[in-house]
């Protein structure tokens, strides 16, 4: 179902300047590609998300979420329906001291980097692994972002979501099951993907530690990222999940001779083969074609099916 003029007027009445139509989403992604959103809402209050979900449900309009856009490739055709962008306008955090630790409640639009540096300054440990991961806190929870040194689920205490029915729910850590780049609800039938819901807040627990040690760890991992990742170019982080019981995806891509492979303005990074960079004028179609080509070639050479970690939306 499309958003006709009458529905546009309804949305303007509900959200005033926070709603726009046919605006390009390329500036909302780290890859710098993507067509327009039929409608784009940038909420600054949780209640606006609830209102939007109810409106979509009664008008049979699809909605989707974008956070920092650092793990998404949006197609050139754009996205139909309502895109809800969770930005710094829905950001901020509070904390309370508990025995030997702190509980930090973080709104979904808060940049993950901001939480990491704040925790380091206060000598709170447990989030060092996340230094250098861009995007929002909500996006990091949804993706169970992490590295070999840890995942968000390691420090997660609770998540507050708006469900697809527009209901606000707080889920405790014990109700959530974590795996590689995924969180799901325990004891539910079906996929149990928490992200049929919108994460609006999450709390984490970080233990008291030494600020100097935490900062030294962060410095080391940031230096490693700078040396190993093509951070001078637009990119979306690792394109493929690392396959189980095999070499890392980047190593397989490298062994398949694909470093430097190009499709239009998209290129497999020479520095880290699991990164695709936008060399300047890439379209989403260029990136998607390169992803497909890499997947096919690695499968032909090694009989391994690489699964994208990056989300293709639209
Ligand atoms: C240079 C670079 C390095 C990276 N390094 C790492 C790394 O080391 N480890 C790692 O795990 N990732 C890494 N990433 C990928 C990415 O940064 C993470 O996955 C990040 O957590 C995504 O957050 P985001 O806000 O940008 O989410 P987006 O890219 O905007 O969204 C990702 C998915 O989450 C959903 N989503 C976003 N916010 C919400 C919300 N509030 N509620 C429900 N769903 C939501 C979106 O619908 C989408 O499906 C890297 C990316 C880049 C560009």
Q: What is the pLDDT of residues 233-288, one digit of tens each?
A: 999 999 999 999 899 999 999 999 999 999 999 999 999 999 999 999 999 999 99
Weakest-pLDDT range from 9-23, 160-174, 218-232: 160-174
Q: Could you tell me which of 206, 220, 236, 174 has the C-alpha nearest to residue 29?
A: 236
- Length reported for the chain: 314
Centre of ligand 1 to C-alpha 120, Å, is 21
78 Cβ inside 6 Å of ligand 1: no
Q: How confident is the model at residue 194 (pLDDT cuts 50, 70, 90)?
A: low
What class does CATH assign to 91-223?
alpha beta
Q: d(Cα 192, Cα 197) in Å, to the nearest integer?
A: 10
309 among known catalytic residues:
yes
pLDDT of residue 189: 58
pLDDT of residue 188: 61
Residue 8 has, within 13 A of its CA and on its CB side, a CA count of 11
CATH of domain 5-85: 3.30.43.10
Minimum-distance ligand 1 atom for the alpha carbon of 65: 47
pLDDT of residue 63: 94
64 among known catalytic residues:
no
Taking the alpha carbons of 139, 207, 224, 182 in that order, is the dihedral positive or negative? negative
| Sequence ranges of the chain with CATH classification 3.30.43.10 | 5-85
| Sequence ranges of the chain with CATH classification 3.30.465.10 | 91-223
Kindly tell me if the per-residue pLDDT of 195 is higher than 60.
Answer: no
Percent of the chain with pLDDT over 90: 89
pLDDT of residue 180: 87
Q: d(Cα 297, Cα 294) in Å, to the nearest integer?
A: 5
pLDDT of residue 192: 54
| Sequence ranges of the chain with CATH classification 3.90.78.10 | 230-313
181 among known catalytic residues:
yes
Residue 273, number of CB atoms within 10 A of its CB: 26
Mean pLDDT of 204-214: 98
Q: What are phi and psi of 242, to 5 degrees?
A: -75, 125
What class does CATH assign to 230-313?
alpha beta
pLDDT of residue 2: 87
Q: Could you tell me which of 74, 89, 83, 110 has the C-alpha nearest to residue 234?
A: 74
- Neighbouring-strand partners of residue 249: none
Mean pLDDT of 218-225: 96
Task: Give, for ligand 1, the residue of 143, 164, 278 to mutate: max count of ligand atoms closer than 8 Å to Cβ.
Answer: 143
């Amino acid at each position: 179902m499309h958003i006709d003029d009458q529905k546009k007027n309804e949305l303007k009445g509900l959200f005033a300047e926070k709603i726009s139509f046919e605006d390009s989403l390329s500036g909302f992604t780290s890859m710098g590609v993507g067509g327009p959103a039929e409608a784009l809402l940038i909420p600054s209050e949780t209640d606006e998300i609830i209102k939007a979900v109810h409106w979509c449900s009664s008008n049979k309009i699809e909605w989707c979420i974008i956070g920092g856009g650092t793990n998404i490739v949006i197609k050139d055709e754009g996205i139909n329906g309502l895109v809800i962008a969770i930005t710094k306008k829905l950001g901020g955090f509070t904390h309370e001291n508990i025995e030997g630790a702190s509980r930090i409640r973080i709104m979904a639009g808060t940049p993950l980097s901001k939480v990491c540096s704040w925790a380091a300054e206060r000598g709170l440990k447990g989030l060092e692994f996340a230094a250098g991961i861009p995007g929002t806190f909500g996006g990091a929870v949804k993706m169970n972002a992490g590295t070999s040194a840890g995942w968000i689920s390691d420090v997660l205490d609770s998540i507050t979501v708006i469900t697809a029915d527009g209901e606000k729910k707080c889920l405790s850590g014990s109700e959530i099951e974590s795996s590689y780049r995924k969180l799901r609800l325990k004891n539910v039938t079906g996929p149990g993907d928490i992200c049929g819901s919108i994460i609006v807040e999450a709390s984490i627990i970080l233990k008291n530690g030494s600020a100097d040690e935490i900062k030294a760890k962060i410095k080391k991992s940031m230096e490693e990222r700078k040396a190993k990742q093509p951070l001078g170019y637009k990119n979306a982080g690792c394109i493929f999940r690392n396959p189980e019981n095999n070499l890392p995806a980047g190593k397989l891509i490298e062994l398949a001779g694909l470093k430097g492979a190009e499709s239009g303005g998209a290129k497999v990074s020479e520095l880290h083969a699991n990164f695709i960079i936008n060399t300047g004028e890439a379209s989403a179609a260029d990136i998607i074609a390169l992803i497909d080509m890499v997947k096919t070639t690695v499968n032909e050479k090694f009989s391994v099916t690489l699964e994208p970690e990056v989300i293709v939306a639209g």
